[in-house]
Amino acid sequence: MLRLKWLTMLLLAISPFFVVAETIEREILVDGFGASFNVATQNALIESVKQANGVSIDSQKIYTKAIKEQSVVSADESTHDVSINNDSLYNIKESTQGTINSYEIVQADNTEVDQWHVQVKVVLVEYVTPGNSPHSLRKIAVLPVRTKFSEIRVVNKTFSNAEIVRQYNQKLVNELTQSRRFSVMDRDYMDEYIKERDLLLSPDSSQDEQMKIGEALGVDYLLIGTVTEFKAETQQKYSKTMGQTTNNSIMQFYADYRIMVMATRQVKWSDTVKVTLMQPEIEPYARSNDDQGLIDLILERAARKVVHSSLDNIYPLKVLKVAGESAIYLNQGGKMTSVGGHYEVFTPGDLITDPDTGLNIKIDGEKVAAIEVTKVQSKYSLAKLLSGSLASIEPGAIVRRVIPLTVKSSNIQEVMEPAW
């Protein structure tokens, strides 16, 4: 009895997650012209289908043909009396597979011979994308990177360039997705998408489910790049003190990347990432023969550098809320920040115009504090004050990462401001 009660409570708890495709009704006014009431109304309904969101071009053609085969109104052309019977409504709803839920004649005129004008109020049924609207963020796709190597051997295993490309692409997608600053579009699993699309287009799927088909989105930006070098080697070093030669492993990863506007092919941002792993980091993985772990480590660092470098200029880290010295909330979390990370806080700054190009340049304001991240959540981070004035930290203040002093100056890349 107790088990049955527990199962009932569990089903009630998870039942909200088992939902059908969510749809909404949208009311529009459309005009139609024709030689009769019927033809003019048909043309108005055809126009409404063209304005419906989530209806593919092929479906529009099918619906247009079906509407033309229907008698959509009953009319007395001598008195301009027009009516819509239930059979007409049902037939139109069926022939458009529910896209047109209902329609009503608002106005009808035939001021010219054999020329009718009708205005129709149409109620359309449209699919609603679950969660936050993908249109609220800029859309980006990560295309498969190119390589200039055929394979790489790490400790005891050889990885092909195709496998490295797959893993590197996935880590770029992970970093971009967790930044929550872009709607990331998939361009890798096209075969799986096509299979699911064909399933939705089958007669077994309801109209609500088929409405998902017309929701495929294009992108604003493309992230493309080339791995120019990826090598693992052993360097011999002779120690005069010890009187012996030691072997030191080193791994190096170099990649060029650029962010391009899909519509114009304009390059908005371009840079090169360099990641090097030395013997102290490699040794634990080598001892445990964890070849994949080494690959994960170096590719994750490279992907993080790409995304951090881009977002530091496009969407810099900012202060969300200040609730105390140990409660400074930042507007990014996930993999964009890390516990123990040190940051500097600046006033919002100013916008100035470059006299040569006329472009606006956003400059940081005065540095007012130094903070350290103490907690990372998926959507935000929590930090504590290390130095500076808490009263000077305001919501919207820009936060910049502090580059560790152990990083050689030759590896520090100059940050530029892209014209996004």
Whether domain 136-313 has CATH 3.10.150.10: no
136-313 and 316-411 share one fold: no
Q: Is 135's pLDDT higher than 70? A: no
How high does pLDDT run on average in the chain? 79
Pairing of strands 221-239, 138-142: parallel
Within a 10 A sphere around the Cβ of 278, how many other Cβ atoms?
12
Assign domain 21-127 one CATH number from 3.40.50.1370, 3.30.1660.10, 3.40.50.300, 3.40.50.1820. 3.30.1660.10
pLDDT digits (tens, 9 = 90+) for 365-414: 889 999 999 999 988 999 999 999 899 999 989 999 887 654 443 343 33
Instruction: Please tell me the distance from the alpha carbon of residue 253 to that of residue 274, in angstroms, as a whole number.
Output: 6
Q: Are 338 and 376 in contact (CB under 8 A)?
A: yes
- Residues 228-285 have pLDDT tens digits of 999 888 877 767 777 777 778 899 999 999 999 888 888 888 899 999 999 899 889 8
User: Could you tell me the residue ranges of all domains in the chain?
Assistant: 21-127, 136-313, 316-411
| Angle between helix 37-51 and helix 57-68 axes, rounded to 10 deg | 170
C-alpha 329/C-alpha 394 separation (Å) is: 11
Q: Residues 142-193: pLDDT tens digits?
A: 999 999 888 888 877 889 989 999 999 999 999 998 888 888 888 877 788 7
Architecture in CATH for domain 316-411? Beta Barrel (2.40)
